[in-house]
Chains A and B, each alone.
With several copies, the nearest count.
Chain A
Amino acid sequence: MSTGAQFGYLIAAICFILALKGLSAPKTARYGNWAGAAGAVIAVAVTLSVGHLQHLGLILGAVAVGAVIGVPAATRVKMTAMPQLVAIFNGVGGGAAALVALIEFLTVASQSSKIAMGDQAATVFTVLVGSVSFAGSMVTFAKLQELMTTRPVVLPAGRWISGAVFVAAVGLAVAGLPVRSTGLLVTLLLVSLGLGVLFVLPVGGADVPIVISLLNAFTGLTVAASGYVLGNTLLIVAGTLVGASGTILTRLMAAAMGRPLTGILFGAFRASVAGPAAAAQNRPVRSGTPEDIAILLGYARKVIVVPGYGLAVAQGQHTIRELADLLTARGVKVAYGIHPVAGRMPGHMNVLLAEANVPYESLLEMDEANMELSSADVALVVGANDVVNPAARTSPGAPIYGMPILNVDSAAAVVFCKRSLRPGFAGIENELLYDPKTTLLFGDAKESLSKVVAAVKAL
């Protein structure tokens, strides 16, 4: 490879570093993404122009096909479906890396018989981890798209099956090191696909974003390893960057949920899902009509809205915005309390509310929101549950115990918009639903809010 091309790759690598740096701060995030895209363009342009490439027409055709698939998917997807799209994109990247290593292996196998240990190890690693990442991402997609249940799927003797497949994959990988057998490598690929599926199945729906982040880091490492196989520094740098930053990011996400990563991957709240949720269903609650809620809100001085998973599902972000505007016009002070893990992925609520043009100033981070809540007249909880569940403070046995929550119970009155008394992701009862100062507004978040909007207008 010419020095010029290598220099181009170095520039691309610098772009990627600047991209991650930019993406880490709100002010520069967008420029960061552009820097990354610029790096990608440079990298591809350099690659195409180094010459010596056969099948250039086919290659350009394949790039065009990829773009025709990727761009519309990215531009048309609903904001609420973002996570599954990221999962797909991540999976295909892992798949591509595994294929690259496989092709390189086939090419070298047909040419020489000397085995370079380092290359062989990198090949095996790429095939294994790339396949896990691909298959795992597809399962997360299926879960998030609700093509399958979002609850943790625990096969009978699941641990044993997963363990056996894991051992098989590692065994095949080690066996593949000294020999050069295409059959072995393809078997490894298939077993690794199975491992990827088994890895993600026991993870609950709301934990899936963490797993996507983890698989993202996996794919990064896979790309780095495929770069090692090809002797390409750019792939090594870019893949390693993503591998390292993805690992940190996964840990930060898990930390924001107050739970260890191993618990998310392997524990999945299995022990405590059924018990209390079933028990307490027939205690009395106070439910209100949209008109009741409209009066409560319309004559309050300060209302804090706490949005959650259910708002995202119901696509109610524009309706809540409309309600907030109406209330503000009536002189009510309205702000939003954003829990870091509310919604489907970290930061998801910010994205959703930004889409609905909610002013940035009225989005309060957790600590700020908790200060405001103590002087609020009404806390309006829309499709959220776990992030306001006092059990996190009070029940040492609860799976969310210790997670910082939004203390809506410190407001003078609490309104819950949800469809039923069913618990949220963590599967535990929320005592606050039965509290005398709580009013429930049953129904889909978007529909309920529309009715409240109409009722406030009629006040």
Chain B
Amino acid sequence: MANQIGGMGLLTIFVLAVFVGFEVVSKVSSTLHTPLMSGANAIHGVVLVGAILITGVSSGPAQITLGLIAIVLGTVNMVGGFVVTDRMLRMFSARRGEERR
């Protein structure tokens, strides 16, 4: 598949995303380490999108089979990740009202 926006554009996007990733989490408290890890984990489940796109243009049976496996794995990552993160956070936020700061 062709890169529509050019290698250097993608590199710029990569560099900016690195800075955003660094900055955004750099002040997280240790209490939230586990849910943050789990949430970030769910986000990279977006590889599902790549798996769908590639499967949708594949033709050989080997490729389609591998593609479907990738879709299953990606879905497990994404859906399971968000659900389990929400479960963790639900417990934290049960008593949001009484929170101290």
The reply to whether A and B meet directly (CB within 8 Å) is yes
Which residues of A are interface residues toward B (Cβ below 8 A)? 1, 3, 6-7, 10, 12-14, 16-17, 19-21, 23-27, 29-30, 32-34, 36-37, 39-40, 43-44, 47-48, 52-56, 58-59, 61-63, 65-67, 69-71, 73-75, 77, 79, 82-83, 85-86, 88-90, 92-93, 95-97, 99-100, 102-104, 106-107, 110, 118, 209, 212-213, 216, 219-220, 222-224, 226-249, 252-253, 256, 338, 340, 345-348, 350-351, 354-355, 357, 359-361, 365
B98 CB to closest chain A CB (Å) equals 6
Known interface pairs A19-B39, A36-B42, A346-B34; A30-B84 also in contact (CB < 8 Å) = no
Please judge, given known A-B contacts A66-B79, A70-B80, A103-B54, whether A23 and B5 are in contact too, CB under 8 Å.
no
Q: Is the CB of B50 within 8 A of A97?
A: yes
Interface SS, B side: helix
A3 to B100, CA, bound (A): 46
Chain B interface residues (CB < 8 Å from chain A): 1-5, 7-22, 24-60, 62-64, 66-96, 98-100
Q: Which listed residue, B8, B26, B28, B89, touches A10 by the CB 8 Å rule? A: B8
Q: Are B66 and A20 within 8 A (Cβ)? A: no
The smallest C-beta distance from A79 to any residue of chain B, in angstroms, reads: 8
Q: Are the CB atoms of A82 and B34 closer together than 8 Å? A: yes
Task: Please tell me which one of the listed residues A13, A71, A89, A350 contacts residue B31 in the complex, with CB atoms under 8 A apart.
Answer: A350
- Bound together, the chains give a CA A227 to CA B72 distance in angstroms of 18
A106 to B52, CA, bound (A): 16
Contact A26 B31 (CB under 8 A): yes
With A59-B52, A96-B73, A106-B63: A256-B40 Cβ-Cβ less than 8 Å: no
Secondary structure at chain A's binding surface: helix, strand, loop or mixed? Answer: helix
Q: Is the CB of B91 within 8 A of A103?
A: no
Minimum distance in angstroms from B14 CB to a CB of chain A? 5
Q: Is the CB of B46 within 8 A of A223?
A: yes
Q: Which residue from chain A places its CB closest to the CB of B6 in the assembled complex?
A: A6
Cβ-neighbour of B39 out of A14, A36, A235, A365 (below 8 A)? A36
Closest 4 CB pairs of A and B: A66-B75, A244-B21, A70-B80, A53-B56
- B90 CB, min distance to chain A CBs, angstroms: 7
A-B contact pairs, 10 of them (CB 8 A): A17-B19, A23-B39, A37-B42, A74-B80, A99-B66, A220-B44, A234-B46, A347-B35, A351-B35, A359-B98
B66 → chain A closest CB, angstroms? 5
A69 and B93 form a contact (CB under 8 A): no
CB nearest to B5 among chain A residues: A233
Please tell me which one of the listed residues A24, A30, A67, A242 contacts residue B79 in the complex, with CB atoms under 8 A apart.
A67
Residue of A nearest to B48 (CB): A44
Contacts of B74 on A, CB cut-off 8 Å?
Answer: 66, 92-93, 96
A43 to B39, CA, bound (A): 16
Complex CA–CA separation, A317 to B37 (angstroms): 23
